[in-house]
Amino acid sequence: MFLQLTTILLHLALCSATKDVVHFSVNSAQGDRTPVKEDNSAAEMATVTVNLQQAVNRIGSHFVGVTIDSQQIRYNWNSFGFGSTKVQNMARALSPSYFRLGGSAADYMTFDPTNQKGHKGENLQGGQVYCSNFTTQFYMSVDQWDILNKFLQAVGWDFIMDLNALQRNADGSWNPANARQLLQYSASKNYKIAAFELGNEYNLYPSSLAVTPAQLAVDYVTLQNLLGEFPQDYYSSFLVGPETAMGGEEKYFLGFLQAGGYKTIRASSFHSYYFSAQEKYLPHFTNVSIMNYLGGKIELAMTQTRQVDPLLPVWLSETSTAYGCGTANMSDRFVAGFLWLDKLGLSAAMGIQSVIRQTFYGFNYGILDLDLNPNPDFWLTVLYKRIVRGPVFNATSDRSDVRAYVACANPDNFKAGSLAFYFLNPNDYSVTFDLPQFDAQTMLIYALTAGDSGGLLSKFSALNGMKLEMSGDNLPDLKPLSAPKGPVSMAPYSFGFVVLPEARVSICLNQ
């Protein structure tokens, strides 16, 4: 029996003789898969302190982006509804945003400017998720390219195109001929492409297809020169690289930068996942030790980049829970939100400038499902973009079993000077987050819990107790609960945001 999670109640409870507590309690039935302590009155306490004197990073409107894998073109976009009003409304809810078309299949895709009607693509039975056959050649037609670009224009996303790096000359150098055809056609249609990448995860290529870091650095110069052939169209487009999978000492990433690659790129970029999709182990998704794994990868990428160029931004340009297309019935469920929200918080706190989520649609880790309905991480991503933006501060907690992050609140949606906390309680007991620096502050609460009896494996999430679903083609209002001063007690297996609209933090006022 799974966790029965029926409602979330906001009430004031006496935590001590002098403090009020904003308490989120969950009525639950004990389950054999995700047990929850039924007595929430004796919540564990976590004291969170913030250094507001200095920001450790600054994140902008494009901090969170999304991908669609090039593999979808092989299957002629599968069942993705580019013209759907509902899909476009969901995409606009994430705008402004970077959108990346890439992945392993990008290095096997060739643009065919002679095919106007569109390749049929390989067949998918019943709309199934097809997570294989990434390394056979296929073509992208004019029609498939047009459909994508018109969609991006309609929803206001900024396009990052991952070009095929395996189109090589006899001497091993990159052959830009097909990329030139793509740019010529795109320029004729006035398609805007914000940035380009060249290839995907070179450090995982088989030896027969090896591209050395030094050669890739030269290839990026070739790509830079190619963009120079289109000064009226792609003058402001920039390059991102080297798009490696971060693991071990990652000599490829550093080698590319040291070989001169840093001179051609606006951001160094790497990919990171937590574990293999084949592991299928639910506790991974709420394990704080698993969350900490990412910190080492970020530190490695930041350190190696700083060795070469101290001012070069670093991007986490492809990421999700589990590599290999995501874990079925886990990477698309409520439980995946713990790793996703922690990744955003940790990345922001450690200096990453952009995090691009694999994927918007497709496979087991899409934030939309194959029926074009939102998975729980869609709502979490929308809320993050609406709530968090600007200077990021260092937050510390006296407990290691929870997570706490803090940044300025998005000035487009909140009063200047507002502060946004986001908390994760990945435990089967309540945890009260005490904010001693803000005892007198009123709060806006956005608490997310599982949306139905599926518990951690629910396909839905609930915001302040209300199940989140599309209302026809439109998003529902994602309104907070307003609460008076006091610590915040988060229910078992929950996460969310707390905005302090009257914080008047000087660094947030001046952003």
Per-residue tokens: 115: 């095919």
Across the range 277-292, mean pLDDT stands at 96
Q: CA geometry: angle at 424 spanning 427 and 270, to 5°?
A: 115
Other CB atoms within 10 Å distance of the CB of residue 147: 18
Q: Is 292's pLDDT higher than 70?
A: yes
List Cβ neighbours of 510 (8 Å cut-off, separation of 6 or more).
none
Which homologous superfamily does the CATH classification assign to the domain defined by 60-388? Glycosidases (3.20.20.80)
- Phi–psi pair at 349, nearest 5 degrees: -70, -25
Kindly report which listed range (3-12, 49-58, 363-372, 376-385) carries the lowest average pLDDT score: 3-12
Query: pLDDT confidence of 90, banded at 50, 70, 90?
Result: very high
Q: What is the pLDDT of residue 42?
A: 60
Q: What is the pLDDT of residue 195?
A: 98
Q: Is 104's pLDDT higher than 60?
A: yes
Query: pLDDT confidence of 441, banded at 50, 70, 90?
Result: confident
Q: CA geometry: angle at 46 spanning 447 and 459, to 5°?
A: 30
Q: What is the pLDDT of residue 8?
A: 32
| pLDDT digit string, tens, across residues 391-438 | 999 999 999 999 999 999 999 999 999 999 999 999 999 999 999 999
Q: What is the pLDDT of residue 119?
A: 67
CA atoms within 13 A on the CB side of 203: 20
Q: What is the pLDDT of residue 132?
A: 75
Across the range 128-141, mean pLDDT stands at 82
| pLDDT digit string, tens, across residues 65-79 | 999 999 999 988 888
Q: Is 157's pLDDT higher than 90?
A: yes
Report the percentage of the chain scoring pLDDT > 70: 89
Q: What is the pLDDT of residue 118?
A: 64
How far apart are alpha carbons 433 and 426 in whole angstroms?
13
Q: Domain 4-56+392-509 - what CATH class?
A: mainly beta
Instruction: Please say whether the beta carbons of 426 and 494 come within 8 A.
Output: no
Query: pLDDT confidence of 275, banded at 50, 70, 90?
Result: very high
The CA-atom distances, in angstroms, between 243 and each of 199, 319, 322 are 7, 11, 17
| pLDDT digit string, tens, across residues 2-52 | 232 222 333 322 222 223 444 343 333 323 334 444 444 467 999 999 999
What's the whole-model pTM score?
Answer: 0.92
**pLDDT: is 175 or 483 the higher one?**
175
| pLDDT digit string, tens, across residues 164-184 | 999 999 999 999 999 999 999
Across the range 385-390, mean pLDDT stands at 98
| Helices (H), ranges, 116-200 | 142-155, 177-188
**pLDDT: is 40 or 496 the higher one?**
496
Report the percentage of the chain scoring pLDDT > 90: 81
Kindly report which listed range (19-28, 55-64, 109-118) carries the lowest average pLDDT score: 19-28
Q: What is the pLDDT of residue 129?
A: 61
Strands 431-434 and 97-102: unpaired
How far apart are alpha carbons 267 and 261 in whole angstroms?
10
Q: What is the pLDDT of residue 127?
A: 52
How far apart are alpha carbons 387 and 383 in whole angstroms?
6
Q: What is the pLDDT of residue 24?
A: 42
Q: What is the pLDDT of residue 78?
A: 80
**pLDDT: is 25 or 361 the higher one?**
361
Q: Is 204's pLDDT higher than 60?
A: yes
Beta-bridged to residue 431, according to DSSP, are 44, 490
- Phi–psi pair at 344, nearest 5 degrees: -65, -45
Q: What is the pLDDT of residue 215?
A: 97
Q: Where are the domains of the chain?
A: 4-56+392-509, 60-388
DSSP code at position 418: -
| pLDDT digit string, tens, across residues 229-263 | 999 999 999 999 999 998 777 899 999 999 999 99
**pLDDT: is 266 or 370 the higher one?**
266
| pLDDT digit string, tens, across residues 114-123 | 987 666 666 6
Q: Is 267's pLDDT higher than 50?
A: yes
